[in-house]
A and B are shown apart, each in its own frame.
Chain A
Amino acid sequence: MPGDLTDGRIVIVGASLAGLRAAETLREEGFTGSLTVVGDEPRAPYDRPPLSKQVLLGKTPADTTALPMRRDPEADWRLGVAATGMDPLEKRVMLADGESLPYDRLLIATGTRSRPWPNPDEASLDGVFTLRTSDEAGKLAERLAAGPERVLVIGAGFTGSEIASACRERGIEVTVAERGPAPLVGALGGTLAKLAAAMHRNHGVDLRTGVTVTALRGDGNGRFTGADLSDGSRVEADVCVVALGAVRNVEWLAESGLAAGPRGIACDAGCRAFNMYGIVTDDVFVAGDVSRFPHPLFGYQMLSLEHWGNAVEQAEVAAHNMVSPGPLRRPHLAVPTFWSTQFGLNIKSVGVPTYSDHVVIAQGSLEARRLAVVYGYQGRITAAVTVDMAKSLDYYKHLIETAAPFPPPPGAADRAIAADVTIPSDVPDPSGLSHGPTVALTGHLPDRRLTVVQPTR
């Protein structure tokens, strides 16, 4: 083996899905050196998707979603201690407890945290929650089990919609406030967002769109009692869930010289981090939600994804590349894929729906609540979303990977007229949403020849 890439010291910062899968893959790929995994939560790596579904429905306790190991990575787990910095010259990671860990290669997989309500006094009211960690899910589930009168959900992205769905399934009244024109519009565009709005309302959600929440109110004893909306109305509620999207955990890298910012840490297709001058490093790798990487299928724009599947696949590529010499390294080219279950519907997406100018309903219909929507950009297929049609998704994935023409040819649709009724994809300006999109391109909106600069908070 050239060099000693299978030996030495590897540190992984981030003990969630990407960190665990990378650790396993390093051993699978023959790494025999010392492996340390640092995590700021005291808990062993756990799975997050069940937190907004099974856990909020009261079917699964929040503290039981530990991720199964595919193999024991024989790592030194440093849980409950945050990394506070890294020194790329000395090759050390500094920890909150004062210790520092030397490394030969470093993998950064620190993910995201929930975006807090911007007013700290209002955010600290009893009854105001965010949902990202197991602890947060446990506290919210406990409050839902106590039978609140009404829950206010701020933000109708995937997490907000899943929370609203869980509340309705438990018979709890719920109001959803969304700054954009419809739920999920930032992720799926206008057509499917219409179906999402209908699903909310058909299930009894009090859905308010085109409004922002201007203030959270307390009863004077620190208990949340309701909120004021920008249209002058007021919502009386005893629980509030702030679902305004995620913040990337990059602050600890402020002095590191890496290209780390609000959209994540920039890296090359082989998961190697860029420094602030755009020079690629060869000993610092990035994977999962905290990364942003160039993708050839979407104009080589930097993509940052908050997807379970991306965390797994990018971690595996990063780990492979950490123990492989240059010519044997692989690019991370996986097509983005994600799912959501809400209001009894299974929504799955492949590609990047917001990288589109037109859409066509290729199978099924909005009325049937069972459909496949294909997205195109400048005459080629860039994404597909299915609702209760998961078996069709692999087929559309193939069309995306091969840059098939849009609208899809006969045979890709069960409706002869489908190709004749392409409609604008209606991708909104992300700054008009109350939550961040789960797929962020660099801010370029391909259907409008427009670049949006989002000021950071």
Chain B
Amino acid sequence: MQTVVDLTRCQGYAQCVFLAPEVFELHGEEGLLYATAVPDDQVEHVRQAAAACPVQAIILGEGVSAGAR
């Protein structure tokens, strides 16, 4: 599972950091760093973070696979 945060939208509410601290991390007061590939045991936490984000900036999904069409 892959994640990307639309940092144009992100306003630093940091709900994701509380809900999935192993994936999301604040860099300074409101900058956000995150693990782009979500470990399997963190998927549920990241889903909760995506749902809780006040500006709905977290996108979660599969990447394009090599043989995909």
List residues of A whose CB falls within 8 A of some B CB.
20, 44-47, 49-50, 53-54, 57, 59-60, 64-72, 74-77, 79, 307-309, 312, 337-339, 341, 343-346, 370, 388, 390-391, 393-394
Contact = CB atoms under 8 A, between A and B. Distances in A.
A338 B33 contact: no
A180 B56 CA distance: 38
B64 A77 contact: yes
Interface of B: 1-4, 6-8, 10-12, 25, 27-37, 59-66, 68-69
29 contacts: A20-B64, A44-B64, A46-B63, A47-B4, A50-B33, A50-B36, A54-B34, A59-B25, A64-B35, A66-B63, A67-B4, A68-B1, A68-B63, A69-B63, A70-B59, A75-B68, A307-B8, A309-B6, A309-B8, A312-B6, A337-B8, A339-B8, A339-B10, A341-B31, A344-B27, A344-B29, A346-B27, A370-B29, A391-B11
Contact of A47 (B1, B28, B36, B60): B36
A59 B7 contact: no
B22 to A, nearest CB: 12
Nearest to A394: B11
Nearest to A75: B69
B69 A77 contact: yes
Contact of A60 (B6, B35, B61): B35
Contacts of B6: 308-309, 312
Contacts of A20: 64
A63 B51 CA distance: 27
Contacts, number: 110
Nearest to A15: B64
A74 B8 CA distance: 27
Nearest to A36: B69
> Chain B CB within 10 Å — which of A50, A68, A309, A343 has the most?
A68
Nearest to A339: B7
B35 to A, nearest CB: 6
Given A67-B63, A390-B30, A346 B12 contact: yes
Contacts of B64: 20, 44-45, 66-67, 69, 77
A344 B28 contact: yes
Nearest to B10: A390
Nearest to A392: B11
Contacts of B31: 341, 344-346
Q: Give me the 10 closest cross-chain CB pairs, A-B, nearest first.
A: A66-B63, A344-B28, A68-B61, A341-B31, A44-B64, A309-B8, A64-B37, A68-B2, A346-B31, A65-B36
Nearest to B25: A59
A346 B33 contact: no
Given A54-B33, A339-B10, A391-B12, 19 more contacts: A44-B68, A47-B4, A53-B27, A60-B37, A64-B35, A67-B63, A68-B1, A68-B62, A69-B62, A69-B64, A76-B69, A77-B69, A79-B66, A308-B8, A341-B27, A341-B31, A344-B29, A346-B12, A390-B10
Nearest to B35: A60
Contact of B59 (A44, A68, A345, A393): A68
A345 B28 contact: yes
